[in-house]
């Protein structure tokens, strides 16, 4: 969808902001451009809609050289979100959101209908927020309106320049979550500039790590964190990159251990006998459909007639596919030695600290070898 071919931007004073840059962004992909101030990442993004024009090389959007397209027409086909949002203070939220459709000739009713749809998509009730003015919104709400406005004409490409940088950390995380949810629905091709490696890792399908005017590594978040291409990249992503990688490594069924299980309708004495034979002190309680009902201790089962009535609530659980970081956080929050992993309400197994570490190691090795995680073979701590 977006292709840079040996693109250079050199200013009259001799400063080279971008130097022979070549990379490609696939349709529907979200690519984060990350690096220190002055490294060329914003210049790269702004060349896509010709707010800055390249000195040499070519930039193609959907196969079309942007230098052959009228810049005004080009910009109306590309959504653009900036940190300061840039809403018109004298126009309502609904009219702000409908700006681009109105400019390209949509009828007012259609433009406002589309604006209302987009406000709803970004989590703002159009009936409540549509009649308001920008000064009546919080910073996070204004940022949501900025995203909605950029999407209003349904552009195939979205450019975002530190879109969540002007809000506090809690709101920023909420906006990131909302944007990921929205992106899963609309699947735009996105270039997002950030100086925050945590944000780049969390949002990006791929990350471009910038040095001075060049991309030092262009790869998936897991690969950048697991196999930095150079000492510069390793230093930039930080010595704690292993912890950062927890946020981009998903829990898979193969990562789980299978603890003792008892059924809700099983006689307590029989269940207790099985646990004693297995030298287990507790068991997971499941119903007939394999749904998690809780856990129970061995001593409680000895005299139990109804296993289901004894089950304790299981607070430490996460869904399959959640990042390892979430599981680790739940372990710490509940002071638990493991977390249950569910597919909906169906119990799949438990993730222990040893298995979490093993999953992280498999993920790193799989990237290094170019294989799937379940194809990686190594000696496991839990097998020792």
String of DSSP letters for 148-184: HHHHTT--SEEEEESTTTTS-HHHHHHHHHHHHHHHH
Task: Give the model's confidence band at 384: pLDDT under 50 very low, under 70 low, under 90 confident, else very high.
Answer: very low
Residue 87 has pLDDT above 80, yes or no: yes
Q: Are 209 and 215 in contact (CB under 8 A)?
A: yes
What is d(CA 218, CA 60) in angstroms, rounded to the nearest whole number?
18
Q: Which of 60, 138, 135, 152 is nearest to 101 (CA)?
A: 152
- Tell me, what's the pLDDT at 265? 81
DSSP characters over 67-115: GGS-HHHHHHTEEEEETT----TTS-HHHHHTHHHHHTT--HHHHHHHH
CA 354 vs CA 120, 227, 270, 329, 361: distances in Å: 43, 22, 31, 15, 11
Convert the pLDDT of each residue in 310-348 to its tens digit. 888 888 999 999 999 999 999 999 998 899 999 998 999
> What CATH number was assigned to the domain covering residues 2-248?
3.40.50.300
What is d(CA 156, CA 79) in angstroms, rounded to the nearest whole number?
8
The least confident of 81-95, 241-255, 370-384 is 370-384
Residue 216 has pLDDT above 90, yes or no: yes
Q: Which long-range contacts (CB under 8 A, 24 or more apart) does 282-291 make?
A: 283/259, 284/259, 284/260, 284/314, 284/340, 284/347, 284/350, 285/261, 285/310, 285/311, 286/261, 286/262, 286/347, 287/263, 288/263, 288/264, 289/346, 290/346, 290/347, 291/345, 291/346, 291/347
What is d(CA 4, CA 22) in angstroms, rounded to the nearest whole number?
5
Cα angle value 141/145/150 (rounded, 5°): 150
- Token pair 């800055």 is at which residue? 52
- Tell me, what's the pLDDT at 80? 87
210: Cβ contacts below 8 Å, ≥ 6 apart? 33, 34, 35, 36, 39, 40, 41, 216
How far the first Cα of the chain sits from its last, in Å, is 49
For residues 230-243, give the mean pLDDT: 87
Residue 381 has pLDDT above 60, yes or no: no
Residue 255 has pLDDT above 60, yes or no: yes
CA atoms within 13 A on the CB side of 102: 12
Take residue 160 and report the two structure tokens written for it.
């975002």
Max CA distance (Å), the chain: 86
Residue 114 has pLDDT above 70, yes or no: yes
Residue 383 has pLDDT above 60, yes or no: no
**Topology classification of domain 253-369:** CBS-domain (3.10.580)
- Tell me, what's the pLDDT at 121? 84
Mean pLDDT, rounded, of the chain: 88
Three-state secondary-structure class, residue 250: strand
Domain limits, the chain: 2-248, 253-369
- Tell me, what's the pLDDT at 379? 61
For residues 14-41, give the mean pLDDT: 93
For residues 21-50, give the mean pLDDT: 94
Convert the pLDDT of each residue in 149-190 to its tens digit. 888 878 899 999 888 876 777 778 888 888 888 888 889 999
Percent of the chain whose predicted confidence (pLDDT) is above 70: 96
């Amino acid at each position: 969808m977006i292709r840079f071919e040996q693109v250079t931007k050199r200013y009259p004073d001799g400063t080279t902001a971008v130097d022979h840059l070549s990379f490609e962004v696939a349709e529907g992909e979200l690519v984060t451009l990350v690096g220190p101030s002055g490294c060329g990442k914003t210049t790269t993004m702004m060349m896509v809609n010709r707010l800055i024009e390249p000195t040499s090389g070519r930039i193609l959007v959907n196969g079309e050289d942007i230098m052959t397209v009228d810049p005004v027409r080009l910009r109306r086909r590309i959504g653009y979100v900036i940190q300061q949002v840039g809403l018109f203070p004298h126009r309502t939220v609904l009219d702000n959101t409908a700006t681009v459709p109105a400019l390209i000739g949509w009828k007012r009713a259609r433009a406002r209908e589309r604006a209302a749809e987009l406000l709803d998509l970004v989590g703002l009730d159009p009936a409540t927020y549509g009649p308001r003015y920008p000064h009546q919104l919080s910073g996070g709400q204004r940022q949501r309106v900025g995203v909605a406005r950029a999407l209003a004409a349904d552009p195939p490409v979205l450019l975002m320049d530190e879109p969540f940088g002007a809000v506090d950390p809690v709101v920023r995380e909420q906006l990131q979550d909302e944007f990921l949810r929205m992106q899963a629905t609309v699947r735009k091709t996105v270039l997002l500039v950030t100086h925050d490696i945590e944000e780049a890792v969390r949002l990006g399908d791929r990350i471009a790590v910038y040095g001075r005017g060049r991309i030092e590594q262009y790869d998936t978040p897991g690969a950048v964190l697991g196999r930095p291409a150079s000492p510069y990249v390793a230093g930039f992503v930080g010595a704690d990159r292993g912890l950062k990688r927890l946020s981009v490594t998903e829990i898979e069924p193969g990562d789980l251990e299978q603890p003792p299980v008892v059924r809700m309708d099983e006689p307590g004495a029989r269940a207790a006998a099985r646990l004693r034979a297995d030298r287990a002190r507790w068991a997971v309680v499941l119903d007939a459909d394999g749904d998690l009902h809780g856990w129970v201790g061995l001593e409680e089962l000895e005299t139990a007639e109804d296993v289901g009535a004894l089950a304790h609530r299981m607070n430490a659980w996460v869904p399959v596919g959640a990042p390892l970081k979430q599981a680790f956080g739940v372990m710490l929050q509940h002071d638990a030695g493991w977390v249950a992993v569910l597919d909906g309400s169906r119990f799949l197994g438990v993730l222990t600290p040893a298995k979490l570490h093993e999953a992280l190691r498999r993920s790193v090795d799989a990237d290094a070898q170019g294989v799937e995680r379940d194809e990686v073979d190594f000696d496991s701590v839990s097998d020792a």
